[in-house]
Structure 1
Amino acid sequence: MDSTTHKLYHVHGMHSRSHLDLYFSNKEDMVFAEDSLKFPMAMIHYKLSTGQIEGTFLVDISISSFIHHLYSASKFFKKIVLLRFQEKCIMELNRWLHDRTGAYDWSHTSSAAAELEGTRDELQEKEMRLRSSIVQILKCDFEQENITSPVLLPLADCIISAWLLEMISKNEDEYMKNLEKIIKLLKPGGQLLLIGALDTTYWFAGGERFHCFKYNEEFVKNAFGKLGLVIDYYAVQRRRNVSNLTDYKAILFIIGHKGE
């Protein structure tokens, strides 16, 4: 499917609240919970809990305005900076961050985080902990040499990127260039936790069809190696839902560390 026949997330923008409702909500007709909510949360919690990922400063660079994948990160990293492409997504995140009227309800994910940590009686504390860890929400632009220009961030101990590269890359070359820009934000020895959708060509949000760059497991592994990331962990969960909103085949979770 030619990327010119439908929209590009980072160019045309999207309806952020619709995206959350379709893929990350607690609505009865939301069928992606196993893949978009439970799998990434469980994987990140598991790997951080092993003590193999350490530091104080984490950067999250993902699509949309979801936050559920960061509950465990806020337990281990004192400072978290969120990078997003769209002003609407930043506004949505700020509404939640400052607990304003109309903020998105993430209680279904805070309860899931509490269950993972074995502290189900501390639901509000999970969101409060995450809010206190987020020190900045910045707009990013991958056309710039410094994607956070004019802000110059310190190098991160850890970066989490969820469902981003396939959404903003039209082909293999663009994927590699965009991945390289993310790696530049990482300090030597730092680790990248990447979440992505395998073999995807499209996805819907707000009634609009968006482009997705189709790639497989071997492509991602090779991309990591070519750009100097040593793979520390890799897991794939085959798709566990039926929906025509998107055509991915599986969700991947991969961790790589930057050479010293």
Structure 2
Amino acid sequence: MDSSTYKRYHIHGYDTRQLLDQYLSDEPEMVFGEDALIFPMKSLTKAFSAGHIKGDILLDLSIGSLVHHLYSACEFFKDIIVLKIQDRCILELKRWTDKRTGAFHWGHVGKIHVDIEGKSHRVEDKEVKVRSAMQHVVKCDIEKENMTEPIVLPPADCIISAWLLDAICKDQDDYIRYLRKFSRLLKPGGHIILIGCLGVTYYTVGKDKFHAFTYDEDFVRKVLEEEDFIIDECKVHKRTSVSDLIDYKAIIFIVAHKK
């Protein structure tokens, strides 16, 4: 398939439940557990446990209706505000936060997190904390100057963006523009945490292929530094999964703070 025919996440949308089933579920055929679940969760737990990243407000700007990357964050922030481009992602998240029938099962993620932390608290207790922290799920328009218009968000202590820039950017200029827009939501000295795929060109949801922006570690480092961020940590995890659903080479986890 010609890459110019690939669909775009923020333009065409997709079945977010199908994305979760294919890339983040506990189904036997789901081969991305090490790369998409365990590596990011371990990295986030370590980053937060160092004690430097904390505060009142965490903004989440991530693809789909992900939850797993917020399990460790809920211990260090009073409120998690989740921004979503697609209504269907909001509905999927609200099913889970409100414990509605048919919500995606994240129980396997709770078990992974408890094992990573090495603590004795129950998985159910952890899920209660995450749900309680992320009661604000807000629709956003990434093309508007104020993405949450008419709502004006308070400055955030931290932003997590997992795989969203990969999905919405068509080129380097897009990446710089959106990262700059995200960074305006931060307090001075605030942290940004980026999780993404290196060397990716497409990903598949159901029968459809979607565009992904191709970049490498050097590019991300350069952009952050040029946007007045100081990089605190950068990890690259080489691909372990075998699947033609997506063609990434590695997962990047990078933490930086605003000067």
When the two structures are superposed, what TM-score results if normalisation uses the length of structure 2? 0.98
Q: Tell me the distance in 2 between the aligned counterparts of 1:28 and 1:106.
A: 15
- What is the deviation of 1:74? 0.3
Show CA shifts across 1:189-218 (max 9, x none).
000010010010000002100000100011
Equivalent residue for 1:72?
A: 72
Q: Tell me the distance in 2 between the aligned counterparts of 1:112 and 1:120.
A: 13
Q: Tell me the distance in 2 between the aligned counterparts of 1:247 and 1:198.
A: 9
Equivalent residue for 1:195?
A: 195
Equivalent residue for 2:34?
A: 34
Q: Which amino acid aligns with 1:147?
A: M
**1:105-120 correspondence runs (5 A):** 105-120=105-120
Moved more, 1-10 or 125-134: 1-10
Q: Tell me the distance in 2 between the aligned counterparts of 1:120 and 1:239.
A: 31
Q: Quick check: 1:3–1:170 contact (8 Å CA) kept in 2?
A: no
Moved more, 184-193 or 108-117: 108-117
Q: 1:63 is paired with a residue of what secondary structure? A: coil
- What is the deviation of 1:119? 2.6
Q: 2:55 is paired with a residue of what secondary structure? A: coil
Equivalent residue for 1:169?
A: 169
Q: Quick check: 1:111–1:120 contact (8 Å CA) kept in 2?
A: no
Equivalent residue for 1:90?
A: 90
Q: Which amino acid aligns with 2:166?
A: E
Show CA shifts across 1:231-255 (max 9, x none).
0110000001111000000000001
- What is the deviation of 1:106? 0.3
Q: Tell me the distance in 2 between the aligned counterparts of 1:40 and 1:205.
A: 21
Runs of 4+ in 1 over 6 A off after TM superposition: none
Show CA shifts across 1:85-125 (max 9, x none).
10001000000000000011000001111112223551100
Q: Quick check: 1:3–1:212 contact (8 Å CA) kept in 2?
A: no
Equivalent residue for 1:148?
A: 148
Q: Quick check: 1:6–1:209 contact (8 Å CA) kept in 2?
A: yes
Q: Tell me the distance in 2 between the aligned counterparts of 1:105 and 1:225.
A: 39
Q: Tell me the distance in 1 between the aligned counterparts of 2:178 and 2:113.
A: 30
Q: Is residue 2:137 matched to residue 1:124?
A: no
Q: Quick check: 1:74–1:133 contact (8 Å CA) kept in 2?
A: yes
Percent identical pairs in the alignment equals 48
Q: Tell me the distance in 2 between the aligned counterparts of 1:137 and 1:54.
A: 20
Q: Tell me the distance in 2 between the aligned counterparts of 1:62 and 1:257.
A: 18
* Aligned length, in residue pairs: 259
Show CA shifts across 1:107-164 (max 9, x none).
0001111112223551100110001111310111111001111111001000100001
CA RMSD of the aligned region, Å? 1.1
- What is the deviation of 1:4? 2.8
Q: Tell me the distance in 2 between the aligned counterparts of 1:158 and 1:134.
A: 14
Q: 1:56 is paired with a residue of what secondary structure? A: strand
Q: Tell me the distance in 1 between the aligned counterparts of 2:8 and 2:157.
A: 30
- What is the deviation of 1:225? 0.8
Gaps of 5+ in 1: none
